[in-house]
Amino acid sequence: MYLAAFPKKIEYEKVRTQLDKMSLAYEVVNPEPGYRLVGIPAIAMEQEVRSRLASNSMDDYVCSGWVEYRRAAIEIPQDAPQHFQKDIFGTVSIMVVAPCIADQTKIRLIAHISGDMSEVFPYINAEMRGACYNENGPMITYMDGYRMITLYPRRIAIAKADEIVDGWHTLEKIRCCVNDVYARRASIVPLYIMRKKPPALELYKRLPGTNCGECGQKTCMAFALTLWNGNAKPFLCKPIFEGKYASLKDAYLEICAGLGVTADGDFPESQ
Protein backbone atom coordinates (compact mmCIF):
# COMPACT_ATOMS: atom_id res chain seq x y z
CA MET A 1 0.00 0.00 0.00
CA TYR A 2 0.97 3.63 -0.50
CA LEU A 3 0.26 6.65 1.65
CA ALA A 4 -0.55 10.14 0.41
CA ALA A 5 0.08 13.09 2.72
CA PHE A 6 -1.29 16.60 2.29
CA PRO A 7 -0.25 20.14 3.29
CA LYS A 8 -3.81 21.36 3.88
CA LYS A 9 -7.03 19.67 4.96
CA ILE A 10 -8.86 20.89 1.89
CA GLU A 11 -6.47 18.90 -0.32
CA TYR A 12 -7.13 15.76 1.73
CA GLU A 13 -10.88 16.34 1.40
CA LYS A 14 -10.62 16.68 -2.39
CA VAL A 15 -8.94 13.28 -2.71
CA ARG A 16 -11.25 11.57 -0.23
CA THR A 17 -14.32 12.94 -2.03
CA GLN A 18 -13.01 11.63 -5.36
CA LEU A 19 -12.24 8.20 -3.92
CA ASP A 20 -15.76 7.97 -2.48
CA LYS A 21 -17.24 9.09 -5.79
CA MET A 22 -15.35 6.31 -7.58
CA SER A 23 -16.22 3.77 -4.83
CA LEU A 24 -12.54 2.99 -4.29
CA ALA A 25 -11.19 1.45 -1.08
CA TYR A 26 -8.84 3.43 1.13
CA GLU A 27 -7.80 3.90 4.74
CA VAL A 28 -7.56 7.21 6.61
CA VAL A 29 -4.70 7.83 9.04
CA ASN A 30 -6.02 10.55 11.33
CA PRO A 31 -3.81 12.66 13.63
CA GLU A 32 -6.69 13.63 15.92
CA PRO A 33 -6.92 14.27 18.71
CA GLY A 34 -3.35 14.22 20.03
CA TYR A 35 -1.54 15.39 16.90
CA ARG A 36 -4.26 17.58 15.41
CA LEU A 37 -2.11 20.74 15.67
CA VAL A 38 0.75 19.31 13.62
CA GLY A 39 -0.88 16.89 11.20
CA ILE A 40 -3.47 16.59 8.42
CA PRO A 41 -5.22 13.25 7.78
CA ALA A 42 -3.36 11.05 5.31
CA ILE A 43 -4.82 8.41 2.98
CA ALA A 44 -3.47 4.90 2.42
CA MET A 45 -4.48 2.93 -0.67
CA GLU A 46 -3.40 0.03 -2.83
CA GLN A 47 -1.34 0.69 -5.96
CA GLU A 48 -4.32 -0.18 -8.18
CA VAL A 49 -6.45 2.43 -6.42
CA ARG A 50 -3.68 4.99 -6.77
CA SER A 51 -3.44 4.25 -10.49
CA ARG A 52 -7.19 4.57 -11.00
CA LEU A 53 -7.19 7.84 -9.12
CA ALA A 54 -4.41 9.17 -11.37
CA SER A 55 -6.12 7.94 -14.55
CA ASN A 56 -9.26 9.84 -13.59
CA SER A 57 -7.39 13.11 -14.25
CA MET A 58 -7.36 13.87 -10.55
CA ASP A 59 -4.63 16.47 -10.90
CA ASP A 60 -6.25 19.47 -9.24
CA TYR A 61 -5.10 18.63 -5.72
CA VAL A 62 -1.82 19.30 -3.92
CA CYS A 63 -0.08 16.31 -2.37
CA SER A 64 2.93 16.51 -0.04
CA GLY A 65 4.18 13.19 -1.40
CA TRP A 66 3.62 9.45 -1.71
CA VAL A 67 5.49 6.92 0.42
CA GLU A 68 5.17 3.25 1.20
CA TYR A 69 2.51 2.79 3.86
CA ARG A 70 3.72 1.36 7.15
CA ARG A 71 1.43 0.95 10.11
CA ALA A 72 2.45 2.96 13.13
CA ALA A 73 4.09 1.30 16.11
CA ILE A 74 2.86 4.09 18.40
CA GLU A 75 -0.66 5.09 19.36
CA ILE A 76 -2.03 8.55 18.66
CA PRO A 77 -2.69 10.22 22.04
CA GLN A 78 -6.34 10.54 22.97
CA ASP A 79 -5.75 13.66 25.04
CA ALA A 80 -5.88 17.14 23.55
CA PRO A 81 -2.51 18.69 22.63
CA GLN A 82 -0.76 20.76 25.28
CA HIS A 83 -1.80 24.40 25.33
CA PHE A 84 0.67 27.27 25.70
CA GLN A 85 -0.30 30.78 26.73
CA LYS A 86 2.19 32.19 24.24
CA ASP A 87 2.53 30.02 21.13
CA ILE A 88 5.44 31.10 18.92
CA PHE A 89 5.26 27.90 16.88
CA GLY A 90 1.90 28.41 15.19
CA THR A 91 0.26 26.14 12.66
CA VAL A 92 1.98 23.43 10.63
CA SER A 93 1.87 22.49 6.95
CA ILE A 94 3.81 19.37 5.95
CA MET A 95 5.04 20.30 2.49
CA VAL A 96 7.20 17.28 1.63
CA VAL A 97 6.93 13.59 2.54
CA ALA A 98 9.39 11.31 0.76
CA PRO A 99 11.57 8.24 1.31
CA CYS A 100 14.58 9.17 3.42
CA ILE A 101 17.82 9.41 1.47
CA ALA A 102 19.89 8.19 4.42
CA ASP A 103 17.63 5.18 5.11
CA GLN A 104 15.09 4.00 2.54
CA THR A 105 13.09 2.18 5.24
CA LYS A 106 12.29 5.57 6.81
CA ILE A 107 10.67 8.76 5.56
CA ARG A 108 11.75 12.39 5.32
CA LEU A 109 9.47 15.32 6.08
CA ILE A 110 9.69 19.06 5.54
CA ALA A 111 7.15 21.14 7.44
CA HIS A 112 6.50 24.87 7.32
CA ILE A 113 5.16 26.72 10.35
CA SER A 114 3.29 30.00 10.63
CA GLY A 115 5.37 31.16 13.61
CA ASP A 116 9.03 32.11 13.94
CA MET A 117 11.38 30.06 16.13
CA SER A 118 14.58 32.07 15.62
CA GLU A 119 14.31 33.93 18.95
CA VAL A 120 14.30 30.67 20.93
CA PHE A 121 17.29 28.99 19.21
CA PRO A 122 20.00 30.27 21.62
CA TYR A 123 17.91 29.08 24.57
CA ILE A 124 17.39 25.63 23.03
CA ASN A 125 21.13 25.54 22.35
CA ALA A 126 21.79 26.21 26.03
CA GLU A 127 19.44 23.46 27.21
CA MET A 128 19.96 20.77 24.58
CA ARG A 129 23.57 19.66 25.00
CA GLY A 130 23.59 17.60 21.82
CA ALA A 131 22.30 20.42 19.63
CA CYS A 132 24.35 22.07 16.89
CA TYR A 133 23.57 25.79 16.66
CA ASN A 134 24.50 27.78 13.58
CA GLU A 135 23.94 31.47 14.34
CA ASN A 136 24.48 32.42 10.70
CA GLY A 137 21.49 30.33 9.60
CA PRO A 138 20.04 30.72 12.05
CA MET A 139 19.34 27.04 12.62
CA ILE A 140 19.50 24.20 15.12
CA THR A 141 20.40 20.60 14.18
CA TYR A 142 20.14 17.69 16.60
CA MET A 143 19.57 13.96 16.81
CA ASP A 144 16.39 12.56 18.36
CA GLY A 145 17.37 8.90 18.61
CA TYR A 146 18.19 7.98 15.00
CA ARG A 147 16.12 10.87 13.64
CA MET A 148 18.02 13.89 12.42
CA ILE A 149 16.14 17.15 12.91
CA THR A 150 16.94 20.62 11.60
CA LEU A 151 15.01 23.66 12.80
CA TYR A 152 14.97 26.83 10.72
CA PRO A 153 13.03 29.93 11.79
CA ARG A 154 9.91 28.85 9.88
CA ARG A 155 10.75 25.39 8.61
CA ILE A 156 11.51 21.95 10.04
CA ALA A 157 13.30 19.06 8.31
CA ILE A 158 13.03 15.58 9.80
CA ALA A 159 15.11 12.69 8.46
CA LYS A 160 14.55 9.03 9.32
CA ALA A 161 11.04 9.22 10.78
CA ASP A 162 9.53 5.74 10.98
CA GLU A 163 6.32 6.68 9.17
CA ILE A 164 3.74 9.48 9.13
CA VAL A 165 2.51 9.01 12.72
CA ASP A 166 6.09 9.05 13.98
CA GLY A 167 6.55 12.24 11.96
CA TRP A 168 3.53 13.83 13.66
CA HIS A 169 4.83 12.63 17.03
CA THR A 170 8.20 14.28 16.35
CA LEU A 171 6.60 17.53 15.22
CA GLU A 172 4.45 17.63 18.36
CA LYS A 173 7.55 17.12 20.52
CA ILE A 174 9.22 20.03 18.72
CA ARG A 175 6.15 22.24 19.14
CA CYS A 176 6.04 21.56 22.87
CA CYS A 177 9.80 21.96 23.31
CA VAL A 178 9.95 25.28 21.46
CA ASN A 179 7.01 26.78 23.34
CA ASP A 180 8.17 25.43 26.71
CA VAL A 181 11.70 26.82 26.33
CA TYR A 182 10.30 30.13 25.14
CA ALA A 183 8.06 30.32 28.22
CA ARG A 184 11.09 29.69 30.50
CA ARG A 185 13.59 31.85 28.61
CA ALA A 186 13.91 34.40 31.44
CA SER A 187 15.54 31.70 33.59
CA ILE A 188 17.89 30.39 30.85
CA VAL A 189 21.22 31.93 29.87
CA PRO A 190 21.25 31.91 26.04
CA LEU A 191 24.20 30.26 24.30
CA TYR A 192 25.29 31.54 20.89
CA ILE A 193 28.23 29.25 20.10
CA MET A 194 28.26 25.92 18.27
CA ARG A 195 28.99 23.16 20.79
CA LYS A 196 28.64 20.06 18.67
CA LYS A 197 28.41 19.02 15.02
CA PRO A 198 26.12 16.34 13.56
CA PRO A 199 28.04 13.06 13.14
CA ALA A 200 30.23 12.82 10.03
CA LEU A 201 28.52 9.50 9.26
CA GLU A 202 25.21 11.33 8.76
CA LEU A 203 26.95 13.51 6.19
CA TYR A 204 28.40 10.46 4.43
CA LYS A 205 24.93 8.87 4.21
CA ARG A 206 23.76 11.83 2.13
CA LEU A 207 26.57 11.57 -0.43
CA PRO A 208 26.23 9.50 -3.63
CA GLY A 209 28.60 6.75 -2.44
CA THR A 210 30.19 6.45 -5.88
CA ASN A 211 33.78 7.16 -4.74
CA CYS A 212 34.25 8.98 -8.05
CA GLY A 213 37.09 11.18 -6.80
CA GLU A 214 35.83 14.35 -8.51
CA CYS A 215 35.94 16.15 -5.16
CA GLY A 216 39.68 15.52 -4.87
CA GLN A 217 39.31 12.74 -2.28
CA LYS A 218 39.60 9.01 -2.99
CA THR A 219 36.31 8.05 -1.35
CA CYS A 220 33.02 9.62 -0.32
CA MET A 221 33.87 8.84 3.31
CA ALA A 222 37.16 10.72 3.00
CA PHE A 223 35.30 13.69 1.53
CA ALA A 224 32.69 13.54 4.32
CA LEU A 225 35.43 13.69 6.95
CA THR A 226 37.23 16.52 5.15
CA LEU A 227 33.99 18.48 4.90
CA TRP A 228 33.12 17.72 8.53
CA ASN A 229 36.49 19.14 9.59
CA GLY A 230 35.83 22.34 7.63
CA ASN A 231 38.54 21.71 5.03
CA ALA A 232 36.30 21.43 1.96
CA LYS A 233 33.30 23.15 0.39
CA PRO A 234 29.99 21.34 -0.18
CA PHE A 235 29.83 22.17 -3.90
CA LEU A 236 32.94 20.05 -4.55
CA CYS A 237 30.66 17.02 -4.73
CA LYS A 238 30.04 17.43 -8.46
CA PRO A 239 27.68 14.43 -8.89
CA ILE A 240 25.21 16.25 -6.62
CA PHE A 241 25.62 19.72 -8.10
CA GLU A 242 26.36 18.87 -11.73
CA GLY A 243 25.57 15.19 -12.20
CA LYS A 244 22.77 12.66 -11.90
CA TYR A 245 22.47 12.80 -8.11
CA ALA A 246 20.71 16.15 -7.90
CA SER A 247 17.90 14.48 -5.94
CA LEU A 248 20.30 14.27 -2.97
CA LYS A 249 20.94 18.01 -2.94
CA ASP A 250 18.30 19.25 -0.47
CA ALA A 251 19.08 16.70 2.25
CA TYR A 252 22.82 17.19 1.67
CA LEU A 253 22.56 20.97 1.99
CA GLU A 254 20.56 20.68 5.20
CA ILE A 255 23.21 18.69 7.02
CA CYS A 256 26.02 20.81 5.57
CA ALA A 257 24.35 23.93 6.92
CA GLY A 258 24.09 22.21 10.29
CA LEU A 259 27.85 21.71 10.21
CA GLY A 260 28.33 25.44 9.79
CA VAL A 261 30.27 24.97 6.55
CA THR A 262 28.00 27.13 4.42
CA ALA A 263 29.40 29.80 2.14
CA ASP A 264 27.70 32.66 0.32
CA GLY A 265 25.85 31.35 -2.69
CA ASP A 266 26.13 27.69 -1.69
CA PHE A 267 22.72 27.27 -0.13
CA PRO A 268 19.11 28.15 -0.76
CA GLU A 269 17.29 30.48 1.58
CA SER A 270 16.43 28.62 4.78
CA GLN A 271 13.18 30.41 5.44
Residues 113 and 23 in one domain: yes
Task: Express each pLDDT in 113-172 by its tens digit.
Answer: 999 999 999 999 999 888 888 888 788 998 899 999 999 999 999 999 999 999 999 999
Residue 265 counted as domain residue = no
H or E element, residue 228: helix 220-228
Which of 177, 196, 215 marks a domain boundary? 196
Among 218, 231, 219, which residue's Cα sits nearest to residue 261?
A: 231
Q: What angle do CA 33, 68, 241 make, to 5 degrees?
A: 110
So what's the pLDDT on residue 44? 98
Mean predicted lDDT score pLDDT of the chain = 89
The 10 Å Cβ neighbour count of residue 204 is 20
Q: Averaged over 51-76, what is the pLDDT?
A: 88
Domain that holds residue 231: 200-259
Going by pLDDT thresholds of 50, 70 and 90, the confidence category of residue 266 is very low
How many Cα neighbours within 13 Å face the side chain of 206?
Answer: 25
Indicate whether 270 pLDDT > 50.
no
Residue % of the chain over a pLDDT of 70: 93
Among candidate residues 171, 196, 221, the one where a domain is terminated? 196
Contacts of 23 (CB under 8 A, 6+ apart): none
Residue 243 lies in a domain: yes
Last residue in a domain, options 196, 213, 239: 196
Do the domain assignments include residue 88? yes
pLDDT at residue 268, rounded to an integer: 38
Higher pLDDT, 234 or 12: 12
Give me the pLDDT at residue 248, please. Answer: 87
Q: What is the pLDDT of residue 262?
A: 57
User: 235 with 266: CB under 8 angstroms?
Assistant: yes
Number of domains in the chain: 2
Identify whether residues 120 and 246 lie together within a single domain: no
Are 153 and 215 part of one and the same domain?
no
Rg of the chain, C-alpha, whole Å: 20
Q: Indicate the helix (H) or strand (E) that contains 109.
A: strand 107-113
Most confident of 3-12, 126-135, 246-255: 3-12
**Confidence grade of residue 17 (pLDDT, cut at 50, 70, 90):** very high
Per-residue pLDDT reduced to its tens digit, 177-217: 999 999 999 999 999 887 667 778 888 888 999 999 989 98
